[in-house]
Amino acid sequence: MAIALALIERAIKKASKSICKFQIAALGFNGRGELVLIKTNRPRFCRYGGGLHAEMAIMNKARRYGIVRILICRVGKSGLLRPIEPCACCSKIAEKLGIKIETIY
């Protein structure tokens, strides 16, 4: 239980560092259940409305780190957790890679 709370606190702290309107963090775990990557979403300034999703940033490095599970969380302006679900595109890619995406809320 203490480990889970520490992971949630770490995800909230990382998400709050995102400069995007929706502050999102993703935690990537390998097959042994070890946390190996933490990423946030970030804007792409070359086109309007596009950005790199936090879970997509982890899936880009999934093969190198052996990622099998991703936890995502969204933080509001007050620092509290907000509801989130992965988009259809990220879900489809995760399914192809054999990665399970779960949310923290």
Six-digit token pair at 105? 């809320």
For residue 66, pLDDT over 60 is answered with yes
Q: What is the pTM of this model?
A: 0.87
pLDDT in the model for residue 60: 92
As a whole number of angstroms, the longest Cα–Cα distance in the chain is 42
Per DSSP, which regions of the chain are E strands? Answer: 23-30, 35-40, 42-43, 51-52, 67-75, 81-82, 100-103
SS3 1: coil
For residue 46, pLDDT over 70 is answered with no
Q: Give the tens place of pLDDT for each residue, 18-39.
A: 888 889 999 999 999 999 999 9
